[in-house]
Amino acid sequence: MLYDRIFAGVFLVLSGLVAWTAYYFDVPFQYEPLGPKAFPIILSIILAACCIWMMIKPDQNTWHPTKEVLTKIVIGLVIMVLYAVLFEEAGFIISTTLVGTIFSWLFGEKPLKAFLYAFVLSLISYFLLADLMQLNVPTGLFFGDF
């Protein structure tokens, strides 16, 4: 129960930071009907509600994280920061493939299968986002004219 409340408290602060950052996010033009602020603010409100619920009513099972679990959590956080850093320059396909491969491998998949799953997922996701939803998804250096 203690770990649930610690987790919820950390993510409650994170949801506040996301909402604050999104609120002050300013773009010179609108390319979506609601603008770029709406989606992160909505997600931060949902995250905050879930965190408050988790603090009020934590899981009754006791969970004591092992060193292996804590290591995977830290690696996962580092990978997500790496994803944010690589996203613009490397583009959606490369950064998503890299991060998806590492996450799949981290949770037990063989490296080749992890790469293939992540690569196919990134290609499908790219075309769904760019073509079907017509969102501005960075192509990166390698796929600039793709």
Say yes or no to pLDDT of 74 above 60.
Answer: yes
Average pLDDT, the chain: 85
pLDDT at position 120:
96
Helix locations, the chain, DSSP H = 2-23, 38-56, 67-90, 92-106, 111-127
Q: Kindly state the average pLDDT of the residues 89-107.
A: 91
Which bin fits 58, alpha (ψ -120 to 50), beta or left (φ > 0)?
beta
What average pLDDT does range 37-45 have in this prediction?
84
Q: Which stretch of DSSP H or E encloses residue 35?
A: none
**pLDDT at residue 29 above 70?**
no
Closest by CA position to 10, among listed 77, 101, 94, 89: 77
Task: Report the pLDDT value the prediction gives residue 105, as an integer from 0 to 100.
Answer: 92
| pTM of the full structure | 0.63
112 pLDDT more than 90: yes
Q: How far apart are the first and last CA of the chain?
A: 49
